[in-house]
């Protein structure tokens, strides 16, 4: 049974990749709210509920984060490192996606506590399949209760 609807936070600096990911999510008939941020620094502001992300009705706390690996200002790996050291966010599932499948990037991501690492697929159909698998897993997985 699918758990209650949850917000997905997408950290992606490339607007085209963000649009493709949203289309892949919607192609799977996933209606969950998606909130976009352009890099790791904006993701931290979103998670802390500061600046333009202050209104939690408009910017609800996410249950899953999908992040690009390479972003300006703060990379996906730096965001992951912050996430795992932050008491309120340390248990949030984080999925990293990258155009790179370099073993050193994959290893570092898992050492820092990534829950999944996917190389960005080369076709839209493959992206739809990756999104479907990830959603089926995270929509059914038990997640830790986050403090208010």
Confidence tier at 4 by pLDDT (50, 70, 90): low
Dist. CA 22–CA 8, nearest whole Å:
10
Q: How far is CA 101 from its chain centroid? A: 17
Contact 61, 47 (CB under 8 A): yes
3/50: higher pLDDT: 50
Q: Which CATH number is associated with domain 8-139?
A: 3.40.50.2300
Read off the tokens for 15: 């607007």
Question: How far is residue 77's CA from residue 43's CA, in Å, rounded to a whole number?
Answer: 12
**pLDDT per position as a tens digit, 93-141:** 999 999 888 899 999 999 999 999 999 999 999 999 999 998 888 778 7
Confidence at residue 52, expressed as pLDDT on a 0 to 100 scale: 95
> What was the pLDDT predicted at 1?
31
Q: What is the DSSP string of the chain?
A: -PPSP--EEEE-S-HHHHHHHHHHHHHTT----EEEESSHHHHHHHHHT-GGG--TTTSPPPSEEEEESS-SSS-HHHHHHHHHHSTTTTTS-EEEEES---HHHHHHHHHTT-SEEEEPPSSHHHHHHHHHHHHHHHHHS--PPPP-
Residue carrying the six token digits 């490339």: 14
Domain locations along the chain: 8-139
Residue 98 · residue 122 · CB < 8 Å:
no
pLDDT in tens, 10-43: 999 999 999 999 999 999 998 889 999 999 999 9
* CA gap 38, 43 in Å, rounded: 8
């Amino acid at each position: 049974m699918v758990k209650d609807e949850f917000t997905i936070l997408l950290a992606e600096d490339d607007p085209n990749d963000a649009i493709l990911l949203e289309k892949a999510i919607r192609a799977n008939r996933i209606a969950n709210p998606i909130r976009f941020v352009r890099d790791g620094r904006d993701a931290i502001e979103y998670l802390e509920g500061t600046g333009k992300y202050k209104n939690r009705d408009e910017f609800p706390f996410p249950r899953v984060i999908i992040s690009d690996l390479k972003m300006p200002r703060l990379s996906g790996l730096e965001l992951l490192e912050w996430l795992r050291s932050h008491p309120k966010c340390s248990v949030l599932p984080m999925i990293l996606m990258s155009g790179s499948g370099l073993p050193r990037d994959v290893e570092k991501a898992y050492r820092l506590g990534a829950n999944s690492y996917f190389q960005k697929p080369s076709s839209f159909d493959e992206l739809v399949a990756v999104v479907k698998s990830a959603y089926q897993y995270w929509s059914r997985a038990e997640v830790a209760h986050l403090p208010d």
